[in-house]
Amino acid sequence: MPGPLCVISLRLAQFRSHAQAQLVFDGRPVAIFGPNGAGKTNLIEAVSLLSPGRGLRGAEAADLARRPGTTGWKIAAQLSTPASLHEVETGAAPGEGRWVTIDGKPAPQTTLARIAPVLWLVPVMDRLWLDGAEGRRRFLDRATMSFVPDHASAVLDYDKAMRERNRLLKDMVRDAPWYAALEEQMARAGAQITANRQAAIAALTAAQALAGDSFPAADIALVHPDTHLPETEEALRSALAEGRARDLAAGRTLIGPHRADLTALWAAKGMPAAACSTGEQKALLVSLILANARALAQRTGAPPILLLDEVAAHLDAPRRAALYDEICALGAQAFMTGTGPELFDVLAGRAQYLSVTEDRGQSTVTERKMP
C-alpha cells in the first residue's frame, strides 16, 4: 500500500563498484558506513538517479558503468509515495544515453521530479559559497524543482534557445528576425525560471523561520552580477533585444537567469556566507536542506528523500545529533554515509545500518543490526 515517500527496494547491476546489489528498506533513515573508497557514495548516487539529471556527481551516463565502454548499467527501484507505488528503472547501454521507465513505460527524465523529490548534500558542496555562481544556481534549481517539477522543463527550454542564440552570436549573424524568435522563447522560459526561483526562496525563508536554533538561518536572495535581473517576460525580451550589440562583441548572452547568483547571509550575524568559517558554511547548507524538506512536508504531507554524503564532516557531535533528530521528526528517509558506525550512534533504534566493503574493485553491502 502507498505510504510515506521512500525507497522500498533498490537493485543495482554493473553500477560503479557494485556488480550486483539488492537492498530492501523500511522507510527509516539509512546509515551507510565503511572505509573510504568502499562504494558508499556510489550507493547514494544510484538513489540520486531516481530524479532528473546526472545525479549527485553530475556524471555522464557512460561513466556510471562498472566497466565503462564494455558494459551497461541498470538501477531498479520501488518507490512508495503518499498517492501510489511506482516501479522506476533507469540505465544506459554502452555508447548510449540514459533511459528511464516508470511503471514499465518509457518516460522522460523530467517526469521523475513529479514522483519523488530528492535532495542531496555532498562534500563538494562545502565550497558552495566560495566557488562560482554555477554551483549555487544548480543548488537553487534543485530546491526549486522540488517545489515546481516543471521547473526542469523550463530550464531545458531556456538553455536550448540560448545555445542557438549564442551560436548566432559567435557566427556574427545580424539577422534580427532570427534573434527575435529565439529571444521570445528565452523570455517566456526565463521569466518562468526566475518566478520559480523566487517562489522557492520565499518557501525556504518561511521554513527556516520555523526551525530551532541548532542550525543558523540564512538570508538568501537572487541577484544578477552586472545589472538588475529582468524578471518579467516583457522585460527580459526587451533586455535581450537591446543587448544584442554587446552580446555580439562578447560572443555570448550576457543577461538572463543563466547569469543569476544566489547570495546568503548568516542572518543572526549579518555575515556573508563566504566570510563564515568552514563549519559555519556547512551549518548554513544543512539549514537550507532541512528548510527545503520542512517546506515540502508542509505542502505535500511528505518530506523529500535526502542524500547526505559524509554529513558528519565539519559538524560537531551536538549538531550531528540535532540533524538526526530533525530528520526523524520530519519522518524523512535520509541516506547518510560516514566512515564508521560511531558517527550514527545516537540514531540507534531509529535507523537501518548498512556496512559497505570493497574487494578487488567490487563493493559488497551488508545490513547490520546495531545495539
More confident residue, 28 or 215: 28
pLDDT in tens, 286-319: 999 999 999 999 998 899 999 999 988 778 889 8
Q: Please give the Cα distance from 51 to 117 (Å, whole number).
A: 7
What pLDDT does 1 receive?
45
Q: Please give the Cα distance from 61 to 92 (Å, whole number).
A: 6
Classify domain 1-116+304-371 by CATH architecture: 3-Layer(aba) Sandwich (3.40)
More confident residue, 337 or 2: 337
Angle formed by the axes of helices 278-300 and 176-208, to 10°?
A: 90
Q: Is 80 exposed, middle or buried (0-12, 13-18, 19+ CB in 10 A)?
A: buried
Q: Which fold has domain 128-296?
A: Glutathione S-transferase Yfyf (Class Pi); Chain A, domain 2 (1.20.1050)
Which positions ≥6 away from 365 have C-beta within 8 Å?
18, 21, 23, 39, 43, 354, 355, 356
Domain range list for the chain? 1-116+304-371, 128-296
Which grid cell sits at 191? 521569466
pLDDT in tens, 38-81: 999 999 999 999 999 999 999 999 999 999 888 899 999 999 99
What is the sign, positive or negative, of the torsion defined by CA atoms of 147, 63, 90, 157? positive
Q: Is the pTM of this model over 0.85?
A: yes
pLDDT in tens, 182-209: 999 999 999 999 999 999 999 999 999 8
- β partners of residue 223: 261
What pLDDT does 55 receive?
95
